[in-house]
A and B are shown apart, each in its own frame.
Chain A
Amino acid sequence: GNSVTQMEGPVTLSEEAFLTINCTYTATGYPSLFWYVQYPGEGLQLLLKATKADDKGSNKGFEATYRKETTSFHLEKGSVQVSDSAVYFCALSSTGFQKLVFGTGTRLLVSP
């Protein structure tokens, strides 16, 4: 079945550092890929998505590229801020937005 593996956290960075959170997936066919973010005390929010190979999703300075050859969708940001501290979830779906399969989440802590 479909599954998502993402790096364990917490990831601890200083402000303005470069961020990478790794995500790889296993799926049949051509799933859509997503990154969700959960800020403290809030619900999960869609951060970005990509629906086909080589697509790049981007939002709020974050980027992720759908790499079918390596079955990966790594999240990157060139310069993190303290306000980026949150838990980040990688997810996939073979049915649009209906059934989402999530990774375990990676906590990011950014210090001033």
Chain B
Amino acid sequence: SAVISQKPSRDICQRGTSLTIQCQVDSQVTMMFWYRQQPGQSLTLIATANQGSEATYESGFVIDKFPISRPNLTFSTLTVSNMSPEDSSIYLCRALGPSNTEAFFGQGTRLTVV
């Protein structure tokens, strides 16, 4: 199994600023994903992070607001840009193992925008 280290675990940010969240996997994985969990709601997929190319975004999410990088097979970042209080959520990364039969999650980043 893979271990994902996600950081920061939590942060409190001022509106209008940006925060970058990092996920490091201890082994090469085929696919990585970013999710948002707003208070009292289920996990919503933001985008699929593609290695060496632009991320694939789900409906309702755009690159200008949530730029994503994936420079190699073990690392990805999500930036929450120009934050507002509505961006206060838990953000999670997920990785899909090489056999595509297992999925691993980071511990999550609890973001509060004030």
**A10-18, A57-65, A70-78, A96-104 - interface stretch:** A96-104
**B12-20, B62-70, B74-82, B104-112 - interface stretch:** B104-112
Docked complex Cα distance between A102 and B103 (Å): 14
Chain B nearest Cβ from A43, distance in angstroms: 4
Task: Give the residue of A4, A46, A104, A105 whose beta carbon is less than 8 angstroms from that of B103.
Answer: A46
* B4: A residues at CB distance < 8 A: 43
Using CB atoms, name the residue of chain A closest to B108.
A43
**Is B88 interfacial (CB 8 A cutoff)?**
no
* A104: B residues at CB distance < 8 A: 40-42
**Is A29 interfacial (CB 8 A cutoff)?**
no
* B41: A residues at CB distance < 8 A: 104
* A43: B residues at CB distance < 8 A: 4, 6, 92, 104-108
Docked complex Cα distance between A42 and B43 (Å): 16
Q: Is the CB of B92 within 8 A of A98?
A: no
* A101: B residues at CB distance < 8 A: 42
**Is B73 interfacial (CB 8 A cutoff)?**
no
User: Size class of B's contact patch?
Assistant: 20 to 34
With a 10 A CB-CB cut-off, give which of B45, B92, B103, B108 has the most chain A CB atoms. Answer: B103
Chain A nearest Cβ from B37, distance in angstroms: 8
Chain A nearest Cβ from B89, distance in angstroms: 13
Docked complex Cα distance between A41 and B109 (Å): 10
* B42: A residues at CB distance < 8 A: 4, 89, 101-105
**Is B53 interfacial (CB 8 A cutoff)?**
no
User: Which residues on B are within 8 Å of A, measured CB to CB?
Assistant: 4, 6, 31, 40-43, 45, 92, 94, 96, 100-108
Residue pairs across A and B with Cβ atoms less than 8 A apart, 5 shown, are A36-B105, A43-B105, A43-B106, A99-B45, A100-B45
User: Which residues on A are within 8 Å of B, measured CB to CB?
Assistant: 4, 36, 41-46, 89, 96-105
Contacts A42-B107, A98-B100 supplied; 16 other A-B pairs, CB < 8 Å: A4-B42, A43-B106, A43-B107, A44-B94, A45-B105, A46-B102, A46-B103, A96-B100, A97-B101, A97-B102, A98-B31, A100-B45, A100-B94, A101-B42, A102-B42, A102-B43
